[in-house]
Chain A
Amino acid sequence: MAAVLPVGSDLSGAMNRFLKTILEKDIVDAVLMPMKVPSGDSFAWIIMSDSSIVDDAEAMAPVMPVQGARALRSLTRKGEGSIRVLALMRPCEIRAAIELSKLGQVKTENLILAAYDCPGAVPMDSFVSDPSSGEDLFRKMLAGEDVSAGEVKPSCTSCVEFSMTDADLHFGHFGLGGTEVLLIPGSPKGMEILEALELPADRETSIWDEAVRKRREKQVASRDAAFEETGENIRGVQGMLNVFADCISCRNCRAACPICYCRLCHFESETAKQDPNSRLDSAVTRGGISLPADRMLFHTGRMTHMSLSCVSCGQCSDACPADIPVAQVFSFVADRTQKAFEYSAGRNDGDPLPLRSFMKSELSGIHEMVSDAEPGGHAHE
């Protein structure tokens, strides 16, 4: 059941008005939402306590320049605030925030996490080169019109978690023709907001449910196709080497990743630094080495560190100057590592992080998984 927010002419505008109202009525102390930057070619996260500023903000931005969980991390890393903040974000951003809260990097006690039905995002490079086309494209995406897959972030075209997350409040608009938005409470915190606004959650949601189900079906098919292609591309060591051949070791992927929260990445630390002499020695052994060194080790290492919490937001691909399909690879691997632990990143269902929970007996099938991953694809006798 849900409450109803009438839309009028502008979906995003209606959500803006809602946020303005909860600020004006002191239901929350501040909201965190995107706002266009002065140059007009991107958006930034702005936390605002002054309700008049909400007029200049944009509830749903066409792009995801900074993963929202990173914004929340910067706000609460040093501890819970005394002010209540509602953060309106994409589902993958909420999921990343939940992962970060499990990792102790986001404190959610005074946060109200709100999400919306996400039609996907426009890749940053195409948006900055032509913002007005990017905004037109996003309007079409919001209206549910068909756009060509190449225009949307690749990870969005195969996203199956585009709607209901474990947010406190969800803005559902798919299948409602742009005339109204369903306010779906996901927790007591979300319920309290609706109660404070005297909005009864009395609308049944079957039309929206059906629209989300249909879209998910389509997205699942597109994800399965993407996984199949990626699985082929990264098969074996040579496959991985080919996919990451153009990596220049800038580590933008790590910096853009909401999960990679380490202040000093292991792979940039003293520990990972190889002694120059042994570096030379390995060059001699192999006839030559590629510099900057250990690029493959970095990617597989990062994968080991964070794939269990990967939310497939695609920020890594967006930030890669060498156009490597980092997100597709990480998403593919994450799907498998998370399945191995029956874990789903971004769920607020009390499931602890797999690496932090001890079980006497687990992963008994690891041998088959390893041999399956080898070229040839079949378990060895």
Chain B
Amino acid sequence: MNSIVMKQDASTAIRELLAYLLSSSRVDAVLTMRQVPETGSCDLGLITDPSGMVEAEPFLPVMTANAGQALSSISMSGKRIAAVLKPCELRGFTERVKREQGSFDNLLTISSICGGVFPLEKVISGDLEKLVPRYIEKTARAEAPRGLRETCKACEEFVPMNADISVSVTEHGSLMHLHSDRAEEYTEGFEGERIEARADQSHIDRMMKSRSAAKGKLFQSLEKSSGLDGLVDLFGKCVGCHGCSRVCPICYCQHCDFESINFDYNQPYFQESLEARGALRLPPDTILFQLGRLTHMSFSCVGCGMCSDVCPVSIPVAGIFKKTGERTAGLFDYVPGRDSEEPIPVMVFKEEELGDIG
């Protein structure tokens, strides 16, 4: 595969590439993580002025919003955009494109072999300054940095699945791999030695080993949540803010069914419930919301971990959804975000399937 050798660190090189794409008018805008130097505050920036690139931190191990969600609507503007996305953000975006919530038509996607991100609370508490240098060291050696999101520690999909450009960083240097004609075309004229190379497989294998072990542990820890009692134990403290669904890259509904009039109950319902059970939780449907959301989106869950990050009562939402998602998607041999042409299982009719579900 045609690859570009990066002379400087990956962030600097990609920042230069993005500036090059803007100043050569190959793209109209760039989507990347930014960090304001004075305050340390992070956000996703949609940048059009090359001089704005100084604040870009394309590989900052932070996810303030799943960029796949943020990119969704602006990708349909018809303008050319280069977007730096973490693999799960790209997969989330791909799932949205399948739901007609985005378009790859004018998009150059840049992703990287991902070391994971830190939970929002660590970002807010101002620990990044200490954490990031250590993170860069560790990930270059294929080691797992401490303190990452639980789902990042356990993520086995850390290699970008369908990016135009992917970046790999090891102790031996950094490479920009060009996966598509669009990548070749856009990087034409960008300085840097071209070589034939792939991402270092032994590096990936070492990462995978620790990820798989962490995933085993995470899923094991959630075993206690099986059955109705387990669900009540896990979700009993849910405050019903539905923040998990709002930050979810898959939950794109403008008006969630569970917030609609369908879930307002009239008085006979309450009276009958009280007569039958003697007591009822208010607002009702705490577990139903979680189960409903699982039914609606779990087979497309990309395990990005945004839901856990915003949960005000620290429910391990992401772990539960990822675990369930792998099972539901697995039933259909489906991998969310793998291929934008692969249809969503619930949108495909087969005369015979799931024969053994009973």
Residues on A close to B: CB < 8 A?
Answer: 30, 32, 37-39, 41-42, 44-50, 52-53, 65-66, 70-75, 77-83, 124-125, 128-129, 242, 245-246, 248-252, 255-256, 263-264, 268-270, 273, 276-277, 279-280, 283-284, 287-292, 318-323
Report which of A245, A248, A263 forms a contact with B120, defined as CB distance below 8 A.
A248
Check B278–A48 contact: CB distance below 8 A: yes
Check A248–B247 contact: CB distance below 8 A: yes
Check A39–B236 contact: CB distance below 8 A: yes
A-B pairs under 8 A by CB, number: 214
**A252 — which chain B residues lie within 8 A by C-beta?**
241, 243, 246, 310, 312
Q: How far is the CA of A255 from the CA of B124 in the complex (A)?
A: 21
Q: How far is the CA of A96 from the CA of B246 in the complex (A)?
A: 25
Mark contacts of B281-316 with chain A using CB atoms, 8 A cut-off: 1 yes-contact digit, 0 otherwise.
111101000000000000000000000011111100
Closest to A65 in B: B239
**A70 — which chain B residues lie within 8 A by C-beta?**
240, 283
Does B280 sit within 8 A of A, measured CB to CB?
yes
Distance from A303 Cβ to chain B, minimum over Cβ atoms (Å): 19
Residues on B close to A: CB < 8 A?
Answer: 28-29, 31, 34, 36, 39, 41, 43-49, 51-52, 64-65, 67, 69-70, 73-79, 120-121, 123-125, 229, 232-234, 236-237, 239-243, 246-247, 254-255, 259-261, 264-267, 270-271, 274-275, 278-284, 286, 309-314
Closest to B284 in A: A74
Report which of A49, A250, A269, A288 forms a contact with B246, defined as CB distance below 8 A.
A250
Report which of A47, A250, A264 forms a contact with B259, defined as CB distance below 8 A.
A264
- Given A124-B312, A289-B46, answer yes or no on A82-B267 (Cβ-Cβ < 8 Å): yes
Q: A49-B279, A78-B265, A255-B242 are in contact. List 6 more A-B contacts (CB 8 A).
A: A50-B278, A264-B255, A288-B48, A291-B74, A319-B243, A322-B124
**B69 — which chain A residues lie within 8 A by C-beta?**
292
Closest to A68 in B: B282
Q: How far is the CA of A32 from the CA of B281 in the complex (A)?
A: 9
Check A74–B237 contact: CB distance below 8 A: no
Check A78–B266 contact: CB distance below 8 A: yes
Check B279–A77 contact: CB distance below 8 A: no
Q: How far is the CA of A296 from the CA of B52 in the complex (A)?
A: 21
**A322 — which chain B residues lie within 8 A by C-beta?**
120, 124
- Given A78-B264, A79-B266, answer yes or no on A287-B64 (Cβ-Cβ < 8 Å): no
**B48 — which chain A residues lie within 8 A by C-beta?**
280, 283-284, 287-288
Q: How far is the CA of A209 from the CA of B29 in the complex (A)?
A: 64
Closest to A107 in B: B267
Q: How far is the CA of A144 from the CA of B236 in the complex (A)?
A: 30
**B264 — which chain A residues lie within 8 A by C-beta?**
74, 77-78
Closest to A32 in B: B282
Closest to B52 in A: A288
Distance from A22 Cβ to chain B, minimum over Cβ atoms (Å): 16
Check B47–A250 contact: CB distance below 8 A: no
**A283 — which chain B residues lie within 8 A by C-beta?**
29, 46-48
Check B254–A263 contact: CB distance below 8 A: no
- Given A71-B283, A248-B65, A280-B77, answer yes or no on A83-B236 (Cβ-Cβ < 8 Å): no
Check B267–A78 contact: CB distance below 8 A: yes
Check A42–B259 contact: CB distance below 8 A: no
Check A292–B70 contact: CB distance below 8 A: yes
Q: How far is the CA of A246 from the CA of B75 in the complex (A)?
A: 24
Q: How far is the CA of A71 from the CA of B240 in the complex (A)?
A: 11
Check A30–B282 contact: CB distance below 8 A: no
Q: How far is the CA of A256 from the CA of B314 in the complex (A)?
A: 15
Closest to A79 in B: B267
Q: What would be 28 A-B contacts, judged by CB atoms less than 8 Å apart?
A: A37-B236, A39-B232, A39-B234, A50-B279, A66-B283, A70-B240, A74-B265, A78-B267, A79-B266, A80-B267, A83-B271, A124-B312, A125-B314, A128-B313, A242-B39, A246-B41, A251-B246, A252-B241, A263-B261, A264-B255, A279-B74, A283-B48, A291-B45, A291-B67, A291-B70, A319-B239, A321-B310, A322-B120
- Given A39-B234, A75-B270, answer yes or no on A321-B43 (Cβ-Cβ < 8 Å): no
Distance from B163 Cβ to chain A, minimum over Cβ atoms (Å): 19
Q: How far is the CA of A351 from the CA of B326 in the complex (A)?
A: 55
Q: How far is the CA of A350 from the CA of B192 in the complex (A)?
A: 75
**B267 — which chain A residues lie within 8 A by C-beta?**
78-83
Check A279–B279 contact: CB distance below 8 A: no
Report which of A38, A251, A280, A320 forms a contact with B233, defined as CB distance below 8 A.
A38
